Amino acid sequence: MPSNITIGIITVLASLLCYYVSWLQIKKGNTKASIAWIMAGSLALKIFTSADFFLHEWDERYHALVAKNMMDNPFKPMLYENPVMPYDYTMWTGNHVWLHKQPLPLWIISISFKIFGVNEIALRLPSIIASIILIVLVFKIASSLFNKKIAYICAILISFDWSIISHATGVDATDHYDLFFVFFITLSIYYCLKSISSKRYIYHFAGAVSMGFAVLCKWLPGMIVLPIYFLLLYDSYSYSFFQIIKRMASFLFVSILVFLPWQLYTFNQFPLEAGWEYTYNKRHFFEELESHGNPFLYYFINMLRGFGELVYIPVLWFIYSFFRNKINYKHAAVLVWFILPYTFFTFAQTKMPAYTMCAAPAVFLMIAYFIQNILIDGKFNNTLKYLLILSFFILPFIHTLEVVKPFENRDRSPAWIEQVKQINKIKKDKPLIVFNSPKDRNIETMFYADCTSYSNIPADSTIQRLKSEGYDIYILPNK
């Protein structure tokens, strides 16, 4: 078997080759072929990064287990499906009914499990597919707002964005949730633009449903689409102000019909858990929860890694040119897409890296607009121009390599996974309770084996009680 480093190097080279062929195709005017090659290059990086045959620690393992349990009971999200030991319903890492997140990504993963089986590939496949479609959506949006040259640059930038890759493959905390969140927001904005250009109400409806889906991923921040849609409608000059308000009202109404039923259902069926989680969500804005406090300007500082060390130049230039020239509502929509998430989450006390990820397409739009209008079309010395253009691609790609890790010979299939899977070979006629799981691996044990698992060993009296209640008990040997 070739080493992980060998495969990694081949993957990176293959990806770069795809981008080169894409550039050759765009020079010939073959836009569809060019975008297809960009998607292929992005897919190669994501497949390699996702090929970890274990669950990533934060937060993928929890999402995976809840999605597995939802296969048979989609309207009762559960972490511990059969909690035989006492638990605290306020602890999302060890409770029974799991309402810590909205349900849509879990439903999507659960469907993937039903189709492809319960495994790591099926877990990450929906996110990877969504991230590839995202490239096309961003290209379409940029083409509609600006032109195809800017759209092409934007598509390349988002295709190898390290944050998109890390979340699509489950590597980073909040993983598939934030990927689907940015996907459905972008999808909604695409349909908004489509409804304006075609004047077909079906796209207006699809945009509203997509925004509802975004809310069912990460709650109310998904409604960022509303002010963006308003500005795009206003820019079209096809509607009176009253007509715009009517369209916005119907858009919001349809979206509410999508996301509100789940909220009412959970408060009715699981009032304790739902009440706690909604209170806990509000506390994120006012308190530093779970040691996720960061400096006030954390998200703006973090842009250097997220988008490359030159990112401030195009963003500040875009803002400057907007205020300097006659108001352009399409530009205003891009700025709102960027400014609202960054402002809101800057003032929130709990700060995590991916909270502003939904604004990534807007940042790439600003970078691509700057590259095309200032560097490519501007009066720069050729050497300096090409150096700057390459810098906007190379610097973020370096950060992408830090996530993809092609030069690291790491263990893709840990031995403890095989130990846990052996539990399924135990002959059992009763529900199985496993104790002494590898340290902090009880979640993974329940994912890979059909059992209820705990990391500790309880008192003998507890074990005897569980046996008398009809459970089989298995205590994993110490390693």
Q: What is the pLDDT of residue 419?
A: 82
Average pLDDT, the chain: 94
pLDDT tens-digit profile of 331-358? 999 999 999 999 999 999 999 989 999 9
C-alpha dihedral (59, 60, 66, 70), degrees to nearest 10: 140
Cis link prior to 72 (omega < 30° from 0)? no
- How far is it, in rounded angstroms, from Cα 61 to Cα 441? 9
Of residues 293 and 195, more confidence is placed in 195
Tokens 């909205």 identify what position?
102
Average pLDDT over residues 229-233: 96
Q: What is the pLDDT of residues 180-223, one digit of tens each?
A: 999 999 999 999 999 999 989 999 999 999 999 999 999 999 99
- pLDDT at residue 417 is higher than 70: yes
Asked if residue 62 lies in contact with residue 93, where contact means CB atoms within 8 angstroms, the answer is yes
Return the half-sphere exposure (C-beta side, CA atoms, 13 A cut-off) of residue 389: 20
pLDDT digits (tens, 9 = 90+) for 28-56: 999 999 999 999 999 999 999 999 999 99
pLDDT at 1: 65
Task: Report CA 305 to chain centroid distance, whole Å.
Answer: 17
479, pLDDT greater than 70: no
Burial of 395 (0-12, 13-18, 19+ CB in 10 A): middle
Percent share of the chain, pLDDT over 90: 83
Each residue's pLDDT tens digit, 440-466: 789 999 999 989 999 989 999 999 999
Q: Which residue has the higher pLDDT, 35 or 293?
A: 35
pLDDT band at 299 (very low <50, low <70, confident <90, very high): very high
pLDDT digits (tens, 9 = 90+) for 318-328: 999 999 988 89
The rounded distance, in Å, linking the Cα atoms of 381 and 358 is 36
Question: pLDDT tens digits for 4-19?
Answer: 899 999 999 999 999 9
pLDDT of residue 35: 98
Mean pLDDT of 79-100: 96
pLDDT band at 410 (very low <50, low <70, confident <90, very high): confident
Q: Is the pLDDT of residue 439 over 80?
A: no
Kindly state the average pLDDT of the residues 72-96.
96
Residue 326: the pLDDT is 82
pLDDT at 422 over 90: no
Would the pLDDT of 301 be above 80?
yes
Q: How confident is the model at residue 101 (pLDDT cuts 50, 70, 90)?
A: very high
Question: Is residue 161 classed as helix, strand or coil in its secondary structure?
Answer: coil
d(CA 155, CA 158): 5
Q: What is the pTM of this model?
A: 0.96
Contact 361, 141 (CB under 8 A): yes
